[in-house]
Amino acid sequence: MTSTGLTAPDAALLARRTQTVDACFDRYIPAGRPVALLQFPLDFNVGNHMMWAAAVDYLKRRDARIAYAAHSWSFDLDAMVRAVGDGVIVFLGGVTISRLWPRHAEIKRIVAAACPNNRLLSLPSTMLFVDDDDRREAGTIFGDHRDVVLMARDPVSAASALDVFPERVNIVTVHDSALRLSPQPRIASPVHDVIWLARDDLESSGGSAPRNVEVFDWTHNDLVAKRAMFPSRVFSRLRKVAPFLGPIANAQIVDSYNRFTRYVLASGNRRLDTGKVLVTDRMHPHILAALRSQHSVLLPDRFGKNRAVYEYSSRGFSTVHWADTPQEALERARELAADTRQ
């Protein structure tokens, strides 16, 4: 084992993933230039915060100043335009194009219409479309904008995006941004052999978790974490009513967002500490488990996102395993737990 807890091959694979992501980002984000970073995850979904932490860390390394940051409900177009100038406007990524999560697509449409001379960059995403109407609507999001880069986090998503968007939209394929995070800590000893992280939203495949294991989802409501967001609410209002204080207000907003993200990511690590082996139908938990050198068994989601990311990015990690059904996942997880020496 390395000092990070990852085996040497897994550490080398993670380093290659990070290098690939950074090289791709470098092609589209100029060093030393301001950026607007949009769609901060105002939620407790640990995976969304993994992407945010990875993006902020990359921009710091790139010396690209975050001149404007906002979540979907604090977004102020005029304030963003003033702050970013001719810089790149970056959207966080995830599943943010289709009507599954419509507010994300709406923000992209607004920005594309108002900022024809800025590069628009959507960080690695899964291109999910509910039906033909959704595909047609998504294809119009960026209007006539001539400098749009959509990053697909797997080749399946890239092929889907190429079918939907006009040729002037640049589609590139690169690993999910969470794969550029550093190895994550394992602090507490597990209390369960198997923990089962099951999603209960629109992307769930509907499979039932077994009754005899610890079952949970990692989206939750935490009043302590919400306190970290209070300064961002205050300074978002200040940024709106006193534009001349925009740079000061934005720095405080970014700091508030980052403290919230660190708290949520730490809570995700603590939750995974409770089990020897993780079973999940969410994509990002299995990436977090890989960063922790913790065995995980990944199940399908409703739209095929998990399988596509597994094949493209994560199946090479020694601790990542695939199962087609909950019963298969449980059997595999129990085998792994029995073999795991904690």
Q: Which of 206, 182, 205, 213 is nearest to 279 (CA)?
A: 213
Beta bridge partners of 214: 195
Q: Is residue 321 part of a domain?
A: no
Mean pLDDT of 89-108: 84
Residue 261 reports pLDDT greater than 90: yes
Least confident of 58-72, 171-185, 224-238: 224-238
Q: What is the CATH number of the domain that holds 86?
A: 3.40.50
Q: pLDDT band at 131, cuts 50/70/90?
A: confident
* Sequence letter at residue 228: A
The pTM of this model reads 0.93
56 phi and psi angles, rounded to 5 deg: -65, -40
Query: pLDDT per residue over 205-255, tens digit each?
Result: 666 788 889 988 876 666 666 777 777 888 888 888 888 888 999 999 999
58-93 in b/e form (b: 16+ CB < 10 A) is bbeebebbbbbbbbbebbbeebbbbbbeebbbbbbb
Q: Report the pLDDT averaged over residues 90-101.
A: 81
On whether residue 334 sits in a domain, the answer given is: no
Question: Is there a domain that residue 286 lies in?
Answer: no
Asked whether the predicted pLDDT for residue 83 surpasses 90, the reply is: yes
Rounded average pLDDT over 141-167: 96
Model pLDDT, residue 121: 98
On the question of pLDDT at 318 being above 90, the answer is yes
Domain that holds residue 106: 8-180
Residue 276 lies in a domain: no
Mean pLDDT, residues 336-341? 83
What pLDDT shows up at residue 335? 97
Q: Would you state the structure tokens that stand for residue 209, as one six-digit string?
A: 């978790």
Q: What is the mean predicted confidence (pLDDT) over 95-110? A: 82
Summarize the chain as % helix, strand, coil (round to 5).
45, 15, 35
Overall average pLDDT of the 328-333 stretch: 96
**Which is higher by pLDDT, 295 or 3?**
295
Q: Are 254 and 90 in contact (CB under 8 A)?
A: no
* Helices 8-28 & 46-61 angle (0-180, nearest 10): 70
Residue 152: inside a domain: yes
Residue 5's pLDDT is what?
85
pLDDT in tens, 6-63: 999 999 999 999 999 999 999 999 999 999 999 999 888 999 999 999 999 999 999 9
How many domains does the structure of the chain reveal? Answer: 1
Is 106 part of any domain? Answer: yes
pLDDT at 223: 66
For residue 167, what pLDDT is reported?
95
- Is residue 41 a part of any domain in this protein? yes
Q: Which of the four pLDDT bands, split at 50, 70 and 90, describes residue 1?
A: very low
The answer to whether the CB of 89 falls within 8 A of the CB of 38 is: yes
Distances, alpha carbon 314 to alpha carbons 303, 307, 309, in Å: 18, 10, 7
pLDDT at residue 204 in the model? 64
Average pLDDT over residues 180-207: 86
> Is 151 within the bounds of a domain?
yes
Looking at the predicted structure, is the pLDDT value of residue 200 above 50? yes
For residue 175, the SS3 value is coil
